[in-house]
Amino acid sequence: MSSQRTGAQILWEALHREGVEVVFGYPGGAIMPAYDALLESPIRHVLVRHEQGAAHMADGYARTSGKVGVAVATSGPGATNLVTGIATAMLDSVPIVCITGQVGSRFLGSDAFQETDITGVTLPITKHNYLVTRAGDIAKTIREAFYVARSGRPGPVLVDITKDAQQAHVTPEWSDEPVRMRGYRPEHRAGAEDLARAAEMIDRAKRPVVLAGHGIVKANATGLLHELVEKTDMPVASTLLGLGGFPATHRLSLGMMGMHGEAWVNHAIQESDLLLALGMRFDDRVTGTLETFAVNAQKIHCELDPAEINKNVRADVALVGDVKETLAALLPLVGERERRAWIDRITELKGDSAVRDIQRMPHRGALFAAHVMHDLWRITEGRALVVTDVGQHQMWEAQYYKHDHPRKLVTSGGLGTMGFALPAALGAKLASPGDEVWVIAGDGGFQMTACELATVAQEGIKLNIAIINNGYLGMVRQWQEFFYDGRYSATPLKSPDFVKLAEAHGLFGLRVTRREEVEPAISRARGTAGTVLIDFRVEQEDAVYPMVPAGAALHDMIRRPSPIVETATDVEWAGFAPAHGRDE
């Protein structure tokens, strides 16, 4: 009898054995046995205010640490509240494990109180999921779940455990053997012939561009990428999630490609004769219309997931496997090259871009989001761990905060989940307590998960929060301006007083309306022990430039008008759009 343990106790022991130190969750009826057993576990629990926050925290924790993040929720609404966070992790290939309580096994399928078929609901947005109805299956399932989540192309795994399975007593069987699964074969290795062909293409190329994606960061392949491009003198363009995978300040770094990539980056890709795509999947946001994408370039596609090969862009050579292993194999095969003519051409392509840059505009007191990003980068010496939300500020961050190190930018790329930043930052801070963490969010997205300010306060976590407040759902407003004849439908946004909101949570808040206040505010936040929220009242109708309209060719960009037009002044920040808006 003494060796017997409840399923709930086995659950925590299994998590502990996987190296879990912290979980993010919210209790409820069907998960109560697990929460009772939690009291005897050394694992730290962070009580969230909404389960979506738990999934994003696990996600931020995983992206920052490279380990598996864990979220816990009850059945029914608890489980369905995780869905957005799970889908976010799925599209960005982030390893998280979600544990959900489920009604007792004899009530399954009876529409019992708080019953949801969560394995059915999450089937298309998890890498795999499990329904566990017996205590004896918990230990093995948790091991498998962690293995599936982190191996191959990582992704979210959900484990749904019935209440009776949590309560039942069994003698646990622990195994230190490697996980064996009959049908799951996540490992691939690029073939020698393909590697040789790829090397030959690289040697021959006159205008090559490396496209560095999230895979570089995930595979910890930054060092090898560095070696490869130094040896071959190939410029590197990054996807949004690839930022930091190659140092932004390196002479061969071009910057971000795609819809809001800098003009010269997209032009370089369009003029290239070889694209070496590393751990990226040719998302529509980085290619523009496919028919016109880099038509003269051969493509080498290094990718872990064979299902991505030829999905959007046809590869001349596919190197399927872990990017780090592929680069290690490729490196000795390529010859040293100097490509001065090509590098000079790209410099020429930069042309007047720098002049159009908002940093070069005469300073008239108005505050642009770009100022905030640039100053933040300068003051933090590019070393902060930045967690962004989704929208205009996300693109400005990507353009103006130069990331030189991997895993220092956490952002929702594939799903584009507003509300991601604050909870993800909390997870990131717990994964890397020594880092200076900055949340950058818009006034819209921040309010989607602003309830997690209470979690930040309760857990005593130090974050720096920058709200880029323009009184609009800015990115949608920008699209309305460009493509919907300036008809601002449901984008003007009236927000609460964010400074008071911070204060209501016992946190420190301050407001910035002029450019000269930016630096003191950032310094104040950095020098304060607790979480500080800064409400940056920025230019209301600024747009992200350049922009490749959806469905246009990558070189077909809308550029920043010159001279730029300032629509608001530092004195009268309207706060609510109709005051200066479109009502004729």
Partner 1 sequence: MPDVRLRTYIMHVEDLPGVLNRVTSLFRRRGYNIESLTVGRTEVAGVSRMTIVMEADDDAARRIEANLYKLVNMLRVEDTTSRPCVTRELALIKVRADNANRAHVLQLAEVFRARAIDVAPEALIFEITGPRDKIDGLAEVLAAYGIVEMVRTGAVAMLRSAEAAVEQPQITNAA
Regarding 136 and contact with partner 1 (CB under 8 A), the answer is no
Question: Among residues 127, 163, 218, 429, which one is catalytic?
Answer: 163
User: Of the residues 51, 144, 325, 397, which is catalytic?
Assistant: 51
Residues 213-232 that bind partner 1 (CB under 8 A): none
Contact 44, 365 (CB under 8 A): no
Q: Which span (97-105, 305-313, 332-340, 555-563) binds partner 1, by CB under 8 A?
A: 305-313
Which residue, 206 or 311, has its beta carbon nearer to partner 1? 311
Going by C-alpha positions, the residue among 229, 238, 209, 281 that lies closest to residue 403 is 238
Q: Which is nearer to partner 1, 188 or 267 (CB)?
A: 188
* 340 contributes a contact to partner 1 by CB under 8 A: no
Catalytic residue, candidates 475, 539, 547, 557: 475
Listed in sequence order, the residues at least 6 apart from 283 whose beta carbon sits closer than 8 Å to its beta carbon are 239, 258, 312, 413, 414
- Pairing mode, if any, of strands 22-25 and 5-6? unpaired
The conformation of residue 515, written as its DSSP 8-state character, comes to: G
Nearest-angstrom CA–CA distance, 113 and 62: 33
Question: Closest CB to partner 1 among 309 and 558?
Answer: 309
Q: Is 408 a catalytic residue?
A: no
Q: Does 306 bind partner 1 (CB under 8 A)?
A: yes
Tokens of 559: 């550029």
> Judging by DSSP bridges, how do beta strands 169-170 and 5-6 pair with one another?
antiparallel
Query: Per rule CB under 8 A, is residue 148 in the interface with partner 1?
Result: yes
Binding partner 1 (rule: CB under 8 A), the pick from 192, 307, 354, 550 is 307
Catalytic site residue 452? no
364 binds partner 1 (CB under 8 A): no
* Tokens (6 digits) for 103: 């009604």
Q: Are 389 and 369 spatial neighbours (Cβ–Cβ below 8 Å)?
A: no
Burial 135-165 (b: 16+ CB within 10 A, else e): bebbbbbbbbbbbbbbbbbbbbbbbbbbbbb
114 catalytic? Reply is yes
- Smallest gap from Cβ 305 to partner 1, in A, equals 7
Instruction: Supply 140's token pair.
Output: 């093995």
Query: What is the per-residue binding string for partner 1 in 175-204, x denoting contact by CB under 8 A?
Result: ---xxxxxxxxxx-----------------
In the complex, the smallest distance separating the C-beta of residue 106 from partner 1, rounded to whole angstroms, is 16
Q: Which is nearer to partner 1, 414 or 471 (CB)?
A: 414
In the list 82, 91, 121, 131, the residue contacting partner 1 (rule: CB under 8 A) is: 131
Given the complex with partner 1, which of 36 and 305 has the nearer CB atom? 305
Give how far the C-alpha of residue 292 lies from the chain's centroid of Cα atoms, to the nearest Å: 28
Contacts of 570 (CB under 8 A, 6+ apart): 365, 366, 367, 513, 514
- Catalytic residue at 163? yes
Site for partner 1 in 103-122 (CB under 8 A): 119-120
51 an active-site residue? yes
Residue 127 or 393: the one with the smaller Cβ distance to partner 1 is: 127
Those residues with Cβ within 8 angstroms of residue 101's Cβ, 6 or more apart along the chain or in another chain:
28, 29, 30, 31, 32, 34, 73, 74, 75, 78, 79, 160, 161, 162, 163, 166
- Please report whether residue 289 would count as binding partner 1 according to CB under 8 A: no
Backbone angles phi, psi at 44, to 5 degrees: -75, 140
Q: For residue 13, give the DSSP letter.
A: H
Preceding amide of 563 cis, omega within 30: yes
Residue 138 in the binding site for partner 1 (CB under 8 A):
no
Instruction: Provide the CA 541 distance to its chain's centre, in angstroms.
Output: 26
Report the candidate in 554, 546, 206 with the shortest Cα–Cα distance to residue 346: 206
Site string for partner 1, 444-483 (x = CB under 8 A): ----------------------------------------
- Among 4, 310, 523, 567, indicate the residue that binds partner 1 (CB under 8 A): 310
Nearer to partner 1, 319 or 428 (CB): 319
Q: Using the rule CB under 8 A, give the single segment among 124-132, 234-242, 438-446, 537-545 that binds partner 1.
A: 124-132
Q: Which of 4, 113, 187, 227 is catalytic?
A: 113
Question: Amino acid letter at 410?
Answer: V
Q: Which is nearer to partner 1, 50 or 214 (CB)?
A: 214
Catalytic center residues: 51, 113-114, 163, 475
Binding site for partner 1 (CB under 8 A): 119-120, 123-124, 127-128, 131, 147-148, 151, 178-187, 305-307, 309-311
